[in-house]
Amino acid sequence: MPPALDDLLDRTHVVALPMRVRFRGLTTREVALIEGPAGWGEFGAFVEYDDTEAATWLAAAVDAAYRPPPPALRDAIAINATVPAVPAAQVPDVLARFPGARTAKVKVAEPGQTLDDDVARVEAVRALIPTVRVDANGGWTVEQAVTAAAALTATGDLEYLEQPCATVAELAELREHITVPVAADEAIRKAADPLTVVRARAADVAVLKVAPLGGVRALLNIAAQIDIPVVVSSALDSAVGIGIGLAAAAALPRLEHACGLGTGGLFIEDVAETPGPVDGQLRVGAVAPDPARLAGLAAPAVRRDWWLERIARCHALTRPT
């Protein structure tokens, strides 16, 4: 049963984190942080999501704040560098924020950009990082994805294409036409049944994110039911959310790929000063915000009220009927 709404709201801090570059169309990332009896949770459902979808993100925040994490099986997690859809010339500066990373995830299929832009960006990354994966966020048709796969592998391999097409049917069709592995993200986290993509043989890798799936335990439950490798990734989380993602990755019995949990470098300021990656790995450990940073990064009153009202609506949807 979720905690009482009044208790939840009393424990909530709303912050606005400035970003170094535009990512997902954002230059400021707002999240609500919940200080619970078991630690800190994070509610950061993107503002365009409706309450039904956002309620799952709130459940994840409550889970982290009110229940201790599962036992860790490893104390450090390899992470990928994250390269937004920046011009190729900016790639070295972006990668410098991920010391020791041996894998990079490169955003492609950005609205307003071309495949030539994507190829240039990937080539710039490939010159510096040995393993490259790309993320299209469902931006291609099957035909476009086939063309992109050929162009992006003309001079080197890709570890995988993440969510190249929007639907499960498209992903399954695409796998029949290319040899590059396909990873599913939105097709899992936005599905009524997150296992549909696996049953349809539409992916070689499952990208799982704690918040959209309802919490660490929900993620681990899904991972236990599938027979393809899992990559734990961030949903543009603050340091608190990254810590929760690391706890999930640390609890997985099987972890073969670098995880997408290095997105903290996208923020100019964050709610906690956490150790950066060492040899491409982040240490596992709970994160508590710095009180001074919580105050300094507090969202304007009108935005705080918006988030508290959203929490109230989502809380009603999580209550047993």
Query: How do residues 122-136 score in pLDDT, each as one tens digit?
Result: 999 999 999 999 999
Consult the annotation and say whether 51 binds a ligand: no
Consult the annotation and say whether 50 binds a ligand: no
Catalytic, out of 105, 189, 209, 257: 209
Per-residue confidence (pLDDT) for residue 321, from 0 to 100:
34
Tens of pLDDT, residues 17-27: 999 878 778 89
pTM (predicted TM-score) = 0.93
Consult the annotation and say whether 135 binds a ligand: yes
CATH architecture of structural domain 5-68+291-317: 2-Layer Sandwich (3.30)
Residues β-bridged to residue 78: 281
Contact by Cβ (8 Å): 156, 183 = no
Tell me if residue 105 is catalytic. Answer: no
φ and ψ at residue 36, rounded to 5 degrees = -105, 180
Q: Which fold has domain 76-283?
A: TIM Barrel (3.20.20)
Catalytic, out of 13, 107, 126, 293: 107
Domain ranges in the chain?
A: 5-68+291-317, 76-283
pLDDT at residue 80 greater than cutoff 80: yes
Tell me if residue 190 is catalytic. Answer: no
CA 294 to CA 289: how far, in whole Å? 7
Beta strands in the chain (DSSP E): 12-23, 26-36, 39-43, 76-78, 81-83, 103-107, 131-135, 161-162, 182-184, 205-209, 230-233, 281-283
CA 227 to CA 229: how far, in whole Å? 7
Per-residue confidence (pLDDT) for residue 189, from 0 to 100:
84
The average confidence (pLDDT) of the chain is: 95
Tens of pLDDT, residues 82-115: 999 999 999 999 999 898 999 999 999 999 999 9
Per-residue confidence (pLDDT) for residue 194, from 0 to 100:
83
CA 54 to CA 177: how far, in whole Å? 35
Tens of pLDDT, residues 190-208: 888 888 998 999 999 999 9
Tens of pLDDT, residues 140-194: 999 999 999 999 999 999 999 999 999 999 999 999 999 999 999 989 988 888 8
